[in-house]
Structure 1
């Protein structure tokens, strides 16, 4: 039953990947089907086969069972074993070690073998095939009965392609991405331009156009790109006759501001306070809200309820793009109760086609640290055992909490969105009950305050009733979401405490153009200091914060290792912005695979291509670990597999 080794890729005809976006149509991989045995089985071989089966049955099972051979335990077990092995397939990079396993040794091999939803074997082809053959019932391994045995199906990838574990985005917003795709607000380069996109969306959706009460929701406007250099107002929306009088809520690109219509203001006016701690309400000369609400002030506006059909549409929009970009897992950062409930319903219906590690949104007015609220439905693709707290705002909008005033706004140090005393109270409570605590922290002051709370929780571990392993935060793997600006002392403390830094490299090549004006030439060195964080002994996991940035994880990979724009520019030249803070390619790959698996307590099940783990893998058209950096962003995803099943492209 010897299986032929895959033909050299140089000797077979293949479809070369084009420079166009990967298509769902057309085969991108070639299956190497073993040659079948020809001719009839010799009568002697048939007789021998019958004799062997009969002998085994006689020595293993009771005599009455033989009269019902079809239903005998022996036949059932043998058939089940053969069917199980026959369903296996191997994906190989023939003649080269093009499979990056990302295991503890960062081993590279030739093949992985998939059986069901798991990886059954990893290694070079000859060894994988030999082990597969050895799993066959012993009587099928000898000639001539071996002629009946199945052979391992082998699928070869293109000679330029590689195989990596399924990729993970460790900080994103899935349903918000679906909303972002509805109206292309980010394309609007002025206030009237954005209003035009909203108008077109309404006019092109009959359900909305004919119903003045139907909410219009969107995501993605960016006031920093507008010539007006101001925040938008409700009056800007009311100026359009199609929009006027409708309930409109538009979220900014960074998620830290909303722009609402006059109808929304009127409907919420009775609940809008004079001030909101950690937030800003823009007002006119008479003190009336003008339509823009920043950070915590967003919470004073009641959000409309969405149906499961609305949410499902958003989910599937995000899932389709995620699979096309090679994502098999995401960490959804701050799920509102209704969003988390929706994901739970999808998981219970086995209708969640993406692994979701959901962070429960912390509402300081209504919160619970009860461990019973955790969700562990890994096989249904949903786990929620972390709480997401917002410490401050964003650097782009001047809301990040700093120790010293902004260089371009000396009257402001930003603001904390939560009282530090409350952080000191709730973080130990959640950790004591087994929750992972993930805190959004952008500014150096916010990061310092959060680390103070983590450190205090460790110091009081015994009093809190939860014994942290080795008195280290790594037992519950707390995370700083963003960890953008940190002092040298806090970077060292990050590593000492074992707190994970969940970072977004594409923010680097976006913010680098204005950050020094905002922070000054000295403080800027602590911004996005990835290398310093790793050198301090902390673990980094990579995300995109989509829809704030592109969903494509290769963009984060590229930004992490180059710190230049996609056309090779930076404020410090083509060598990169603060190039000493670059990650290596291996560090970046691990930051998209095994490190986020660790950060979501699932490193024993996903994150690397190892025997026994879920068969989540991606076929890339180019070897991103060796091609010139200029070619990385031209890499296409040829196939994405989740639980061993191809969900994008073809094998």
Structure 2
């Protein structure tokens, strides 16, 4: 058409066509919006499949012990198997990875994957505390003094304030010439130290070494301390060493909020660096519980914690287990749990505090220290049991283990008579289970009590343990293979007791499978100390994964790379299940993954 001036006239568009175009335009906008949202979600989600070139993923799942790939969706294991099998699930791939989005990753040829490693007995905040002034490699009193001097010089605020407490940890007199306890006078031998309040914890945290200034602050001391000992010289004067319950006499300054934060972040960084995804905190006081709750609530707990609460009264009169607040998958990321108590029966072998049935072979005037009497242990265990809390008891010596097993046996017998026994709902634990009579090595299994052990204690103590215990009693000590075989559930959770030992869980793995020191030695040669008590590598890996999960009631969620469980795993730079034992301690963590997200390293 043309208008009157000869110009072209616009052709009218039918209304139906205009409506169709509008609908198409609106649909395109909506589709584009949806596409962009989906694409953004794809690019930011943490779903992926991780594969090895061979079957280098150790699942600790007896139905599929080794696999090639694991898939992660929403922080959990969604598939386990070989690459071809997972790839064939085209519907899963189409829904999860449309438009060819690449979420397949491969680890390097020599790398392996294992479930997230757990430490079934450790002290997280105390690890950070120890790292401020470490003394565990000091080979003499003089070397300790030199380290304290270096610490003072490196901290001008400490140097300027002679009333500021100096605290450290890790000394071990068994490694020094003469193997004798040090004294407060030793800490006054240098002018830079003289007159300062100094508190140094022994490596096992069962003895304190203090300066003369601290003794002045303490003033008159009691002649005896129930469940503890004040070491005195020939004239009856205190030497500066306080053992077990006597340590509570020392007026140690409480930690500040800044110290809590520093100790926490320092320790967590160490744990993640070495592949730990879970820690059983084996003596958590109420202040520490509150600190951990705050971290969990604000999403600042990058590691899983299973807390064992300690009695917070010396005479236990105001300790009411029924009032303890339970925490189950607590916090923003559901990583905090509390359903256990920790009790102490005796001291440690290195400070002659482990309670023995007969006197020490190298110190016949003592049988060690019972920090809690049999009657008190009976009362404490029963009260926690009635509150339906897991009861975990520190027992080193054969006397301590006998006393606690007697209590457990009586309680379990009463439960049986009442027709309500379910040992799996309580899962009582003996922490350390270090020295037991042959009969008790079997009794702990028959009762279903879990032995929670630390393999590096054996390799640390092996140089003096037989001197302390004698040739017969030593045969029932550090008997890890025997304890595992006696367990009806075939469970032996492994830990380190850090900061008493190193944080790296592979130190414990190596000690468990070799029974050797880190330089390949033992009192029995390069075959290992009492080699019949070695664990296999499969048993050791299970001990620090699935067994630790069972000991904390989390085996349905953690401990193996099984479909439906949380995606906690570790990538290692070599195959700890097959390399020579001497190569195990050279292993480096490539990545520590919690809830499917990298917490340390990279994938």
Same fold (TM over 0.5): yes
Residue matched to 1:282? 231
- The structure whose Rg is larger is 2
Q: Distance in 1 between matches of 2:234 and 2:78?
A: 69
CA contact (8 A) 2:340 2:389 kept: yes
Query: Which of residues 67, 77, 95 in structure 2 aligns to 1:109?
Result: 67
Q: Which runs of 5+ in 2 are unaligned?
A: 1-22
Matches within 5 A, 1:483-562: 483-538=433-488, 539-562=491-514
1:331 aligns with 2:280: yes
From 247, 267, 280, the equivalent of 1:298 is 247
Shift of 1:329: 0.9
Q: How many residues align?
A: 575
1:425 paired residue number: 379
Q: Which residue of 1 aligns with 2:154?
A: 204
Cα deviation, 1:158-203, whole Å, max 9, x if unaligned, reads 1111100110111111122112222131232211220111121111
Are positions 1:453 and 2:403 aligned together?
Answer: no
Tell me the distance in 1 between the aligned counterparts of 2:400 and 2:302. Answer: 36
Q: In the TM superposition, what is the alpha-carbon distance from 1:332 to its structure 2 partner?
A: 1.3
Q: Is the 8 A contact 2:357 2:399 kept in 1?
A: yes
1:391-411 superposed Cα distances (whole Å, 9 cap, x missing partner): 111111111111111111222
Q: Distance in 1 between matches of 2:45 and 2:137?
A: 51
Q: 1:211 to 1:600 in 2, by over 3 A?
A: same
Contact 2:46 2:597 survives alignment (8 Å): no
Q: 1:497 to 1:152 in 2, by over 3 A?
A: farther
- Taking the aligned partners of 1:266 and 1:349, their CA distance within structure 2 comes to 43
In the other structure, the counterpart of 1:638 is 590
Quote how far apart the aligned CAs of 1:245 are: 2.6
1:216-264, Cα deviation, whole Å (9 max, x unpaired):
1111111111225322222222232222232221111111101112332
Question: Is it true that 1:215 corresponds to 2:165 in the alignment?
Answer: yes
Aligned equivalents of 2:41, 2:515: Cα separation in 1: 52
Rounded Cα–Cα distance in structure 1 between residues aligned with 2:447 and 2:249: 36
Aligned CA distance change for structure 1 residues 206 and 106 (closer, same or farther; 3 Å): farther
Shift in CA distance, 611/412, structure 1 to aligned 2, threshold 3 Å:
same
Q: What is the RMSD computed on CA atoms of the aligned residues?
A: 2.7
Q: Distance in 1 between matches of 2:429 and 2:344?
A: 12
- 1:41 — aligned with what? none
Q: 1:70 and 1:373, CA in 2 relative to 1: closer, same or farther beyond 3 A?
A: farther
Provide the residue aligned with 2:131 in structure 1: 181
> Which position in structure 1 is the counterpart of 2:393?
439
The structure-2 alpha-carbon separation of the partners of 1:213 and 1:377, relative to structure 1 and needing over 3 Å to count, comes to farther
The alpha carbon displacement at 1:101 in A equals: 0.9
Please say if 1:476 is aligned against 2:422. Answer: no
Larger deviation, residues 560-569 vs 546-555: 560-569
Q: How big is the shift at 1:500? A: 0.8
Judged with a 3 Å threshold, the aligned counterparts in structure 2 of structure 1 residues 70 and 390 are, in CA distance, closer, same or farther, namely: farther
Q: Which residue of 1 aligns with 2:10?
A: none
Residue 353 of structure 2 is aligned to residue 399 of structure 1: yes
TM-score normalised to the size of structure 2?
Answer: 0.89
* 1:585 correspondence with 2:562: no
Matches within 5 A, 1:134-283: 134=92, 136-137=94-95, 149-269=99-219, 272-283=221-232
Inter-CA distance 258–648: structure 2 relative to 1 (3 Å threshold): same
- The unaligned stretches of length 5 or more in structure 1 are 1-63, 141-145
1:462 positional shift:
7.6
State how 1:16-35 maps to structure 2 within 5 Å.
none
Give the whole-Å Cα distance in 2 for the aligned partners of 1:372 and 1:549.
Answer: 30
User: 1:604 aligns to what?
Assistant: 556
Instruction: Write the distance in 2 (CA, Å) between the matches of 1:476 and 1:216.
Output: 41
**Helix, strand or coil: the match of 1:405?**
coil
Equivalent of residue 55 in structure 2, options 97, 101, 105: 97
Of residues 386-395 and 514-523 in structure 1, the stretch that sits farther from structure 2 once superposed is 514-523
Local SS of the residue matching 1:641: strand
Distance 1:318 1:69, change over 3 A: same
Alignment match, 2:8: none
Deviations 1:54-105 (A, max 9, x none): xxxxxxxxxx999678679x959993996399642121102x1111111243
CA, structure 1 residues 192+488, in 2 after alignment: closer, same or farther (shift >3 Å)? Answer: same
Partner of 1:23: none
After TM superposition, the structure 1 = structure 2 runs for residues 357-436 of structure 1, keeping only pairs within 5 Å, are 357-362=306-311, 363-366=313-316, 367-378=319-330, 379-436=333-390
Offset at residue 472 of structure 1 (A): 4.1
2:82 corresponds in structure 1 to 124
Contact 2:548–2:559, Cα closer than 8 Å, also in 1: yes
What's the offset of the Cα at 1:214?
2.5
Per-residue CA deviation, residues 476-531 of structure 1 (Å, 9 max, x unaligned), is 11111000111121111111111111111111112122111211111111011112
Aligned to 1:621: 573
Show the counterpart of 2:7.
none
Using a 3 Å threshold, how does the CA distance of structure 1 residues 300 and 127 change in structure 2: closer, same or farther?
same
Q: Which SS does the other structure have where 2:507 is aligned?
A: helix
Q: Cα gap change, 1:66/1:191 in structure 2, threshold over 3 Å: closer, same or farther?
A: same
Distance 1:576 1:68, change over 3 A: same
Question: What SS does the corresponding residue of 2:585 show, helix, strand or coil?
Answer: helix
Following the alignment from structure 2 to structure 1, what is the Cα–Cα distance between the partners of residues 237 and 365? 23
Residue 549 of structure 2 aligns to a residue whose secondary structure is helix
- Relative to structure 2, which stretch is displaced further, 282-291 or 396-405? 282-291
1:319 paired with 2:268, answer yes
Provide the secondary structure at the position in 2 that maps to 1:548: coil
